[in-house]
Each structure stands twice: as structure tokens, then as C-alpha cells.
A = this chain, B = another copy of it.
Amino acid sequence: MRIVALSGGIGGARFLRGLLTVLEPADDVTVIANTADDIWVFGLRVCPDLDTLMYTLGGAIDEHRGWGRADETWNVRQELAAYEAEPGWFGLGDRDLATHVVRTQMLRGGHPLSAVTSALCRRWRPGARLLPMSDDRVETHVVVEDGSGRRAIHFQEYWVRHRAGLPVRDVVAVGADQAQPAPGVLRAICDADVIVLPPSNPIVSIGAILGVAEIAAAVRAAPAPVVGVSPIVGGSAVSGMADQLLRGLAIENTAAGVALHYGPRQHGGCLDGWLVHTSDEHELPRIGAAGIRAEAVPLLMSDIEAAGDMARAALDMAGRLAR
């Protein structure tokens, strides 16, 4: 079975780690990762979602934080702070930094991000093919408004520096209109037996991937069923800060709200099926009425086994949808 997932960072990575535990040996997973959170800091190219996926699936993630390397040290960061180097709000661990050094050197040498990612994965062996959504630069900017007026800031500044604490007026994906899918992305979608949307942020993660027009068109036209897993449980994002973002964009902050935001494929959206948490079972009728098959299963990834159960539920639903 060929499985394609469109994924952001922490939530998607944990879901996919579970998925990999429930597959048959012949199954094959391609992860198309959001790169619109990527940022240049201290002259280094940092790809938060690719790295979180790579470290999580490669067994090197800091389990507690959910991002960055286990057994991390922070001496470079401390020194950069002593130099008053900007941006002081962006923390790079020493071990993690080596990844950015290698990536930056390869990018400056002319290699596209997809080739760099493939090279980095030779070390991490994530058990899935990891593709950036695009080799082109796409950057999510958040239009915020506070006492000092309205301005657009990089998503990382909104998320890390301001901890999603500024009122959001809009989210724009700079460069998305000109970005091409990275090599292998369209082919993987086209050849997939199942397309999965893990519980990632529907705006800045999966939304950014679908912001590349050719990827969205391929997902809409794919022969495989598309099954998503709600990142919202009981009216709030499982990982916290996404709530404010949805509120700012006037997207209903419920499992059904996100499903309707994606929309049913039969009406030009990109979902065939949607899993909600058991406590959100009451939302199933609304989702079904919109033309999206919905089921309620436990969606809390307390451990790898629970994530595996979620993944199996998504694959089972896809199997029923494919018939």
C-alpha cells in the first residue's frame, strides 16, 4: 500500500511515527512536509517541520518538547545571546544546529532542498520518504494588529517570539503562487492508495502545503481516498496555540469546523473522510451532511501505541472509502 501524508511538525510527526508501527513490510510511506515555516536565522536555513519529522521518525527527537534533539545542549545559543545576535528569541540547540549548518552549506552549494533533505535522511533513516512540499521559497506571514498598528510578521516570529499572542487579521503564504511542487510530490499523490492528513495545523501546516496550487489540484484529483485526522479535540487544538490562529481567521474552532474548512472532495474540497475524537461524536452528523464520511475514535496521542491506533483507524476508513 502506498500511503502519502501531508504533514506539519509535532502532531503530524507523532501520528506518522504511530503509522509506521502498523504497516506491513511492503507498505510505503511518502511524507510531503510543510516548508512555509522555514526561516533564515543567524545565516542558517532552519526547516522546523522537516526537522521535527526527521528527528521524530529517526528516533532522535526530544520527547518532552516535541521538537529539536534529545540530549540537547545550548552553548551556541548562550554565546549568540552574549553577542546580542538577532533574533534572540529563536533558540537553536547545539546538536540541532549541525543539521542547519549542513543544510545551509548544501543549499549555498546549489542543491535544492529536496536533495538536501534526502541527504540528511541518509543519516536519520526515518522509515518514510520525506519530501519538502516545494524547493521554492514559500513563507507564511501572519498579519497581526496591536497597539503599534497592522503588520505582517514571519510565522516563526508570531509563533515563537509572541507565542501566538498577537491578534491575527490574516495569514498569507508569500511565494506560494509561484512555487512548484518538489520533485516526486505530484507523482506520489497520483500513485497513492491512501492520502492522509495527520492532525497538523489546517492553516499554516497542511493549508500551506495545499497553498501550492498544483499540490491542491493533485490532491483533489487523486484516485486515492483522502482521510484526515482532526487536530481539534473538544473545541481546542491539541497542541495549544493553534486556537488563536483559527479564531483570528474566523474558522470555527471545532473538529467539524476544520473538516468544513477543508471541504468535501465531491464539492471541490480535499477530504473524503474525517476522524474526530470520541468526545466530539456529536459533530458527526454535521460533517456527514456536508459530504464527508466521519467517524469518532480516540485521538489523543498519549504514546506511540495510541498514535498507531489512530493511524490504523485512518487506514481502515480509507479502505472502506476506496471500495
Contacts and interface: CB of A to CB of B under 8 A. Distances in A.
Main secondary structure of the interface of A (DSSP, over half): helix
B94 A75 contact: yes
Given A43-B105, A101-B85, A94 B123 contact: no
A98 interface: yes
A108 interface: yes
A166 interface: no
Contacts of A83: 98-99, 102, 120, 123
A296 interface: no
Which 5 A-B residue pairs are closest in the complex by CB-CB distance? A79-B98, A43-B105, A75-B94, A76-B98, A94-B94
28 contacts: A42-B101, A42-B102, A42-B105, A43-B101, A43-B104, A43-B105, A43-B108, A44-B101, A73-B73, A73-B75, A75-B75, A75-B94, A75-B95, A75-B98, A76-B76, A76-B97, A76-B101, A78-B95, A79-B95, A79-B99, A80-B98, A82-B98, A82-B123, A83-B99, A83-B102, A85-B98, A94-B94, A97-B97
Interface of A: 42-44, 73, 75-76, 78-80, 82-83, 85, 94-95, 97-99, 101-102, 104-105, 108, 120, 123
